Chain A
Amino acid sequence: MFNWIQHFADWLIYSVFHIDAETHLGIALNFFVYDTLKILILLFIIVFLMGIVNAYLPIEKLKDYLNRKKLYGLEYFFASLFGAITPFCSCSSVPLFIGFVQGGIPLGVTFAFLITSPLVNEVAIAMFIGMFGIKATVIYVASGVLLGTIGGWLLGKLNLEPLLSEWVKKILDNKMQQGEYEEEKLSFQQRLPGITRGAWDIVKGVLLYVIIGIAIGAAMHGYVPENFFGTYLGGGQWWTVPLAVVVAVPMYANAAGIVPVIQVFVAKGVPLGTAIAFMMATVGLSIPEATLLKKVMSLKMIAIYFGVVTFFIILSGFLFNVLL
């Protein structure tokens, strides 16, 4: 499917710019051109497809579904799954949180959504397909949804309601019975321009991160020796997983920028499980997110939330290293 991009990259670097295919520079530039084009095309396709899904399953409808249906314990799984299919915007996480608990959705179910939403999103999926292939992507998505389900369930069991901010508790006391969500009646043709523009906006928004990420990746690819991390950073040692995760939690990086760098880590000897755990911790938890959540919950509750999620990310890292 992407052969033509490779031909184009070869032609551009080796024939047009006359850079020798045997040099580090030639390899790095070729890799950069190929990856950038491939990722941007994939990104647009995936974001566009997700845009179609979202046009028909907007967040209000999903919330309504969680509210009305008796799901017999499956609500954690559904909330986590819904978190995966809705586009993530960090600035929406607080309104979402409030909107969910206000509508009477249990705290644990809300957490299931909140955990998966940044972890599995259209940009991360597109980057994963492009960089690691379909199999790794399926594993990443499945484990992200599972992590949200279990994490949300556990957080729900901990009865954290007393740790919410005062004003949020007040909201909980007088839950509003909201009217059913009214769907906009638009035909596919009418929706298409909006979906396309939305997809284009997202791709434009992450373009810079993609280019920077791939540039760093390409540079490392050409210059870092084979199995560098395996040799010098204790590649497969058990403690590398918790270390990678703990380092990554406070950091925030866009999935678009982090995946190309991780891909090189893996190519140079870091086990895939460790790399996935690092990625999950980077995109899923961060200081900026904690700052936003401070408005709706106490520091203690944020610490518990981060602690539980960190624990499960480390666990899944170990699991991948065994399975993959």
Chain B
Amino acid sequence: MTQIKVLGPGCPKCKTTYANVIEALKQSNIEANVEKVEDIEEMMKYNVLSTPVLVIDEVIKIKGRVAQVNEIVELLNK
């Protein structure tokens, strides 16, 4: 199953990204494990400089901005 992680210390942008992921999964009928990573130490393992970050199957897909629903759907269908 696809593993999705949203990295971000809980700012509004990170919450929007998380909500967009849920919406994208609903639209594309894909099942996935979605995890919100709010712990800084955990986050830094991905070596990111700006949040929010969208990680799909341990690969950083989008960083530093809110990922849009259609973008996520596209990424999931790849």
Contact = CB atoms under 8 A, between A and B. Distances in A.
B75 interface: no
B13 A99 contact: no
Interface bracket on B: 20 to 34
Interface stretch (A56-64, A137-145, A214-222, A304-312): A56-64
Interface in A120-178: 167, 171, 176, 178
Interface in B8-30: 8-14
A234 interface: no
B47 interface: yes
B38 to A, nearest CB: 10
Contact of A102 (B9, B14, B44): B44
A94 B40 CA distance: 8
B47 to A, nearest CB: 7
Interface stretch (A13-21, A39-47, A84-92, A259-267): A84-92
Contact of A60 (B11, B49, B66): B49
Given A94-B9, A198-B65, A89 B40 contact: no
B11 A95 contact: no
A207 interface: no
Contacts of A90: 11
B13 A95 contact: no
A99 B9 contact: no
B49 A99 contact: yes
B68 A95 contact: no
Nearest to B52: A91
Given A58-B64, A197-B68, A201-B66, A89 B50 contact: yes
A95 B41 contact: no
Contacts, number: 55
Interface in A225-251: none
B55 interface: no
Given A91-B14, A98-B40, A59 B50 contact: yes
Contact of A99 (B41, B48, B65, B66): B48
A292 interface: yes
B50 A92 contact: yes
A91 B51 contact: yes
B69 interface: no
A296 B10 CA distance: 17
A197 B64 CA distance: 14
A58 B63 CA distance: 11
B32 to A, nearest CB: 24
A196 B70 CA distance: 16
Contacts of A92: 49-51, 64
B76 interface: no
Interface string B36-64: 00001101100111110000000000001
B10 A95 contact: no
A205 B66 CA distance: 12
Given A167-B41, A292-B9, A295-B40, A95 B50 contact: yes
A173 B72 CA distance: 37
Contacts of A212: none
Given A89-B13, A91-B14, A176-B47, 12 more contacts: A58-B64, A59-B50, A63-B49, A89-B11, A92-B64, A99-B44, A99-B48, A171-B44, A178-B47, A292-B9, A295-B40, A296-B40
23 contacts: A58-B64, A59-B64, A63-B49, A89-B11, A89-B13, A91-B11, A91-B13, A92-B50, A92-B64, A94-B40, A95-B40, A95-B43, A95-B44, A95-B49, A95-B51, A96-B49, A99-B44, A99-B49, A198-B65, A201-B65, A292-B9, A295-B40, A296-B40
